[in-house]
Structure 1
Amino acid sequence: MTDTALGATFQPEFQPEFQNWQAPAHDFGDGPPAAEVLTPDEVALVRASAAVVEPMATEMAEYFYAVLFARYPQVRDLFPVEMDVQRDRLLRGLLRIVDLVDDPENLVGLCARLGRDHRKFGAVTAHYPAVGDCLLEALARFAGPAWSDATADAWARAYSTVARVMSQAAEDDALRGPAVWPAEIVHHVHRGHGIAEITVRPHSPYPYRAGQYVSMETPWQPRAWRYYSPCHAPRTDTTLTFHVRAVNGGAVSTGLVHHSRLGDVVHLGPAQGEMVLDPDGTRDIVCVAGGTGLAPIRALVEQAARNGSHRYVDVFLGARTGEELYGMDDMLRMAQRHHWLSVRAAVSHQRIPGREGLLPDVLREFGPWYQHEAFLCGPVPMVRAATQALMDHGMPRHRIRYDPLEGVPALEAPLATAPEEDERF
């Protein structure tokens, strides 16, 4: 899940460096935030060149950042020390743009969300042409003979949509609220299995909806943003509680679970995600959660209760063993309070009477689900398998929501395993 489609951009204090900057060969424009409608030939050129560079995608990302840092060495300190996750984010962003290059409406929606999120980096309009110029240079180098003037023009037109929409969305969002919310850790409890329950109190009210996710920066890993979901609906005291699992090799999650203390201050980016309840919805709901993916599902259930739900909600929790059924007791207590809520477990690697089996198999057993809508969150393989099981039951794809795999920052599937992103919830 990436916090930027094209890599982190630059902070405002470096803007003077661009006052004498020479315009790149391709004019990325400063017009209104309307999508550039590419012709079928241009779409074909973009996708053909992307297919050529895909086998060398990692090397291309390394080259892009090398060029960027060589031309603007002052920006290196704005990026994480470890660049592996950042490079992966660039690649996934490019793939998403290629995927949507002939879908202007969804491309604009994606870029608007990215632009709002980019405010936490301090991105301003003057920065986008520099990034675009370095990007096209990297693409041209690795596309080789597949690169032509026509290909360059097609990529420039596609990028102009990205730059214009992101910039305008950021400017509009700046009129409504801050880019970053400092938040103090006020509660920290270990829940076992490397999971901690962490509550923060933002210094000013933080707007979000149940089911959304939040980007977080910690003091011990500056500029490294990771994503976690509040496990509850919005509270009157403005606090937010996250369930964080310490992941092997995950400096941010390990720091939050094992090293954070009361009084530490983290920073929150704007809430994102489309996995939210429609208050006017009438269909019954099926939810599937794995691991700490339970957090946004629990928040949705709490919001349904607050709304006075007249819809039945079935929640399925997946785990390998009974001990890993994180949050099961809490969900069962919620089910005792609400007649419309049912909670079931699926344990794949341990014999537990009535609960043994892979989650998709248990899901199929309790169907059919063709009249429901679904909310899914957890490891990528589980979400994919559950999606297929629901579709096999006749549920249309548009009624299945899973922010971990689509939207922002999770731009489809990762190209490489980024541990802290797979367990961000």
Structure 2
Amino acid sequence: MDPRAISLVRTSFKAVAAVDGGPDKLTSSFYAFLFARNPEIRELFTATMTGQRERLVTAIAYVVDHLDDLEASLPFLEQLGRDHRKYGIVDRHYAAVGAALILALERFAGTELWTDEVAAAWDDAIAIIAGTMMNAANAETGPAAVGATVIEHVEVLQDVAIIRLQLDEPLKYAAGQYISVQVPSRPRMWRYLSPAIPANDAGQIEFHVRRVSGGWVSPAIVQRTEVGERWVVGSPLGSLGVAGAGGRNMLMVGSGTGLAPLRAQIMEMSARSQNPKVHLFMGGTYPCDLYDFDTMSDIARSNPWLTVVPVSENDTDPWWHDGGPVPALSRQLMPSPVGVLAASFGSWAERDVQIAGSPSMIAGTVDALVAGGTPHENIRHDPLI
């Protein structure tokens, strides 16, 4: 796409998103057009569409932001194409999705903004998106998803559980990627989780899951998962990861269960003889949220390239937590939002930066680091979908 077409796509999308309730109205209209014209597609989705709507807008926004850097966005689209096979998506569905999105955008952009030139620019953008996803999906020869059996379920906090599964066949994923899962109590409600351990020949995978208040899936996972139940695991997504010994030194900032993709990378690195230096800030709202501090500390003690800084926004645990912090943690703890504290250490201009956590934590950490002098192009995190 030429620069003007990219600018038209970005301007029109941002104009629609800026309207009061724009993202919700856009996605509601999109799905209304899609299902009215293609009722058979409705069967591929769950009754509640809230999470799917949010992920749609975020995914579109990510691609729109990267249209002038296809080298960065095409791998993401290829991963999405492979991942969408689990829904039963086939080639004809992409045309239907593109047509519905154009109709929804036109409805909310208005006649002044939605010109023939804007429509043509969006046609080009959707052609790139759909073509890339279709080609990647059609080139894939492996299964769309694999089965897995729960072999361990441990509630480490009132709202956090560690789930370990035995995959029916080993899954190839890079440490730092995330994966969609489907649990038996919530059929067709796929949710993205980051493996907390590297891929292994034994075919085991581990997830750390926090219960989200009002969520559909996470409370079921944390409170109702039973050993022996069957899950379905989709294709890996994301591009977080560290280079080998010759790569740049790293700053990693993780919060709560968002530590998982960073944890998997550090565990993988600990099996290598040489690594870049890694400075890990692991944070939480309360000291008890740093439940995995001992694991990271043990790795740091035997691997001098790793420095671990525990951070908590509060210096005491909430009333409902009865375990208390680990003694070593209570002596080292720094009370602060994790991103703010990381930024206070300097600009980190000479390091590659990875951030993992909630969308608000990631956004706040990016702002703090950039304000402190960290170049924005050094910072990486997954699309917030």
Distance in 2 (CA, whole Å) between partners of 1:80 and 1:303 is: 36
Selected match of 1:339 from 298, 301, 304: 304
Letter in 2 for 1:397: H
Q: CA separation of 1:147/1:199 partners in 2, compared to 1, >3 Å: closer, same or farther?
A: same
Distance in 1 (CA, whole Å) between partners of 2:367 and 2:12 is: 31
Is 1:327 the equivalent of 2:305? Answer: no
Q: CA separation of 1:210/1:392 partners in 2, compared to 1, >3 Å: closer, same or farther?
A: same
Residue in 2 that maps onto 1:157: 124
Displacement of 1:206 after TM fit? 0.6
Question: Can you list the C-alpha shifts for 1:330-388, whole angstroms capped at 9, x where unaligned?
Answer: 22222233333222212222265553332244324545633332222113333334334
Residue in 2 that maps onto 1:75: 41
Q: CA separation of 1:149/1:251 partners in 2, compared to 1, >3 Å: closer, same or farther?
A: same
Displacement of 1:39 after TM fit? 5.5
Selected match of 2:81 from 115, 121, 143: 115
Residue in 2 that maps onto 1:399: 378
Partner secondary structure for residue 206 of structure 1: coil
Distance in 1 (CA, whole Å) between partners of 2:295 and 2:253 is: 16
Partner secondary structure for residue 205 of structure 1: coil
Q: CA separation of 1:53/1:367 partners in 2, compared to 1, >3 Å: closer, same or farther?
A: closer
Residue pairs, 1:87-106, within 5 angstroms: 87-106=53-72
Selected match of 2:217 from 252, 258, 278: 252
Residue in 1 that maps onto 2:12: 49
Partner secondary structure for residue 175 of structure 2: coil
Partner secondary structure for residue 189 of structure 1: strand
Q: CA separation of 1:155/1:341 partners in 2, compared to 1, >3 Å: closer, same or farther?
A: closer
Q: CA separation of 1:307/1:50 partners in 2, compared to 1, >3 Å: closer, same or farther?
A: same
Q: CA separation of 1:48/1:264 partners in 2, compared to 1, >3 Å: closer, same or farther?
A: same
Contact 1:244 1:257 in 2 (8 A): yes
Question: Can you list the C-alpha shifts for 1:232-264, whole angstroms capped at 9, x where unaligned?
Answer: 122231100111111111221111111121121
Q: CA separation of 1:148/1:123 partners in 2, compared to 1, >3 Å: closer, same or farther?
A: same
Residue in 1 that maps onto 2:133: 166
Question: Can you list the C-alpha shifts for 1:51-86, whole angstroms capped at 9, x where unaligned?
Answer: 442213322321221222222223222112111111
Letter in 2 for 1:171: N
Residue in 1 that maps onto 2:94: 128
Contact 1:316 1:344 in 2 (8 A): yes
Distance in 2 (CA, whole Å) between partners of 1:52 and 1:339 is: 50
Contact 1:186 1:200 in 2 (8 A): yes
Structure of higher RCO (CA pairs closer than 8 Å, 6+ residues apart):
1
Q: CA separation of 1:136/1:237 partners in 2, compared to 1, >3 Å: closer, same or farther?
A: same
Letter in 1 for 2:150: I
Distance in 2 (CA, whole Å) between partners of 1:99 and 1:341 is: 33
Letter in 2 for 1:321: Y
Displacement of 1:43 after TM fit? 3.3
Residue pairs, 1:15-414, within 5 angstroms: 37-38=1-2, 40=4, 42-54=5-17, 55=19, 56-145=22-111, 146-173=113-140, 175=141, 177-350=142-315, 354-358=332-336, 359-364=338-343, 366-367=345-346, 369-391=348-370, 394-403=373-382, 406=383, 410=384
Unaligned runs of at least 5 residues, structure 1: 1-36, 412-425
Displacement of 1:107 after TM fit? 4.1
Distance in 2 (CA, whole Å) between partners of 1:53 and 1:221 is: 33
Distance in 1 (CA, whole Å) between partners of 2:281 and 2:3 is: 45
Q: CA separation of 1:238/1:347 partners in 2, compared to 1, >3 Å: closer, same or farther?
A: same
Displacement of 1:269 after TM fit? 1.0
Question: Can you list the C-alpha shifts for 1:279-337, whole angstroms capped at 9, x where unaligned?
Answer: 24343332221100121221111111111234332222112322222211222222233
Contact 1:197 1:244 in 2 (8 A): yes
Give the TM-score normalised by the residue count of structure 2: 0.87
Q: CA separation of 1:312/1:83 partners in 2, compared to 1, >3 Å: closer, same or farther?
A: same
Distance in 2 (CA, whole Å) between partners of 1:107 and 1:297 is: 22
Distance in 2 (CA, whole Å) between partners of 1:213 and 1:223 is: 18
Unaligned runs of at least 5 residues, structure 2: 317-329
Displacement of 1:216 after TM fit? 0.6
| The 10-residue stretch of structure 1 (49-58 or 64-73) with the greater mean CA deviation from structure 2 | 49-58
Partner secondary structure for residue 222 of structure 1: coil
Q: CA separation of 1:101/1:317 partners in 2, compared to 1, >3 Å: closer, same or farther?
A: closer
Contact 2:246 2:275 in 1 (8 A): no
Give the TM-score normalised by the residue count of structure 1: 0.79
